[in-house]
Amino acid sequence: MKPETIDSVISPVKGMDILSRIEVSHLLDNSQNGLYSIFRNCALAVLNSGVAIDDSKQLFEKYADFDIRVVQVERGIKLQLTAAPATAFVDGKIIRGIKEHLYAVLRDIVYIFEEIKDKTDVDLNTSEGISNAVFHILRNADVLHGGVEPNLVVCWGGHAISREEYDYDKEVGYELGLRKFDICTGCGPGAMKAPMKGANVAHAKQRVKKGIYLGITEPGIIAAESPNPIVNNLVIMPDIEKRLEAFVRCAHAIIVFPGGVGTTEEILYLLGILLHPDNAKIPFPLIFTGPESSRDYFEKINEFISATLGPEAQKHYQIIINDPIAVAREVKKGIAEVKEFRVEHGDAFYFNWLLKIQREFQLPFIADHDNMRSLELYKDMQVHILAANLRRAFSGIVAGNVKSEGMREIEEHGLFEIHGDEQIMNAMDSLLSAFVEQKRMKVSAESYKPCYRIVK
């Protein structure tokens, strides 16, 4: 049965109404190196907002007839949609928030691919150049503001969570909102939507009229985590590594809610950075939290970190179970320390320049069989490098689970193989098995079929 669709022409939003002919031609270029495929897939994901699906391949097949074209008119540009999901419209008119997200996709794709490459201070082969690229993309998206007190709390967590976990995450967001903190997430459903929803209600009570609900995503994951409707500033980063760097550079504190493989990837990314000797004295509030029913989940995460990265990594976070007020108070306390440190060291409130992020954490990891098989996962490695490689392993599993390219790799060449020390492999096997048992891998499948094989 074909889904209900609509054809429509969408007028522009302010600030994204003029494109050059070259930019338009690139957006319509359907060649291997053209932008059309990226633009179309991100636009379809945005138009599918609010629909529970975490299988990008399934989404693209469902709306195989969908098309989007940039049309130049006498007063600027318009977007011509063909066979778009009808859920994005009310009485034939596109929902305002979805329209804004659609133009955010256009803004970021044009900027990343047309302007970033031409900037003299952006060299994507160097660590400093990559960080500059992240900064420029965020500034162009109007995310970075001077003269604003530190108050952005990044929330990580999964889309495949229980109702009890969702309600708890929302309560934490509510407590953060009462303290007038803004929220940033990966922009999708589940633990990415809940804290925004809670903060939105609290902001209304506190008469916060310009609350920020920032969603940061990337083309490979957006179809599996379509932006939720509360997001009022959507940013598309070029890849997962720049997305993760954007999170940690913008954050004044990070809260981790229950999740799955993608959440573990995020945890490993941040811990690997914090374990670098150059970052030892930089305050970075990091809290793991969930309802009482999530206690076992965080115990498994804690055991995995202990077995792989050791007790030094465990010093960088605290676990708070079933106490939203305590979480919010610890965030407030931690952000006060962040402010004091940045004032003392002359670092910006809006972008954490002092944090050292090595190229191992910045270079895009292509999840294919050779790269997954070649990952070095050994106990005698420098601990922050081990964290970087563990992050890549979990990133590969995310790709095999929900990203169209990764799923295609599995279909054509079989399961990814992950090799390493027996202790590390045992820890991975135990954690991933717990995720499967707790149904934290995918929401769109009744039974999970692994995309990986642990080789001890």
Contacts of 370 (CB under 8 A, 6+ apart): none
Task: Report d(CA 37, CA 87) in Å as an integer.
Answer: 22
Which CATH topology does 142-345 take? Rossmann fold (3.40.50)
Task: Report d(CA 384, CA 418) in Å as an integer.
Answer: 19
Per-residue tens of pLDDT for the chain, all 456 residues: 678 899 999 887 765 566 777 777 777 777 766 788 888 889 998 998 866 555 566 777 888 899 998 887 766 678 899 999 999 999 999 999 999 999 899 889 888 887 777 676 778 889 999 999 999 999 999 999 998 999 999 999 998 889 999 999 999 999 999 999 999 999 988 999 999 999 999 999 999 999 999 999 998 888 778 899 999 999 999 999 999 999 999 999 999 999 999 999 999 999 999 999 999 999 999 999 999 999 999 999 999 999 999 999 999 999 999 999 999 999 999 999 999 999 999 999 999 999 999 999 999 999 999 999 999 999 999 999 999 999 999 999 998 887 878 888 899 999 999 999 999 999 999 999 999 888 887 655 567 888 999 987
Q: Which among 269, 237, 264, 299 has a CA at the least distance from the CA of 107?
A: 237
Token readout for 65 is 């007839």
pLDDT at 281: 94
Query: Which sequence spans correspond to the domains of the chain?
Result: 5-114, 142-345, 363-455
- Written out in words, the top-level CATH class of the domain with range 5-114 is alpha beta
Asked whether 431 and 264 are in contact (CB, 8 A), the reply is: yes
Task: Report d(CA 331, CA 229) in Å as an integer.
Answer: 25
Asked whether 239 and 363 are in contact (CB, 8 A), the reply is: no
Token readout for 386 is 């081990």
Task: Report d(CA 267, CA 265) in Å as an integer.
Answer: 6
Give DSSP secondary structure letters for 10-36.
EPPPTT-----HHHHHHHT--STT-SH
pLDDT at 377: 96
Specify the DSSP class assigned to residue 3: P
Domains 5-114 and 142-345 equal at CATH topology level? no
Please give the backbone phi and psi of residue 141, each rounded to the nearest 5 degrees, phi first. -85, 5
pLDDT at 334: 98
Asked whether 5 and 63 are in contact (CB, 8 A), the reply is: yes
Asked whether 451 and 415 are in contact (CB, 8 A), the reply is: yes
Task: Report d(CA 14, CA 12) in Å as an integer.
Answer: 7
Q: Which among 91, 76, 109 has a CA at the least distance from the CA of 6?
A: 91
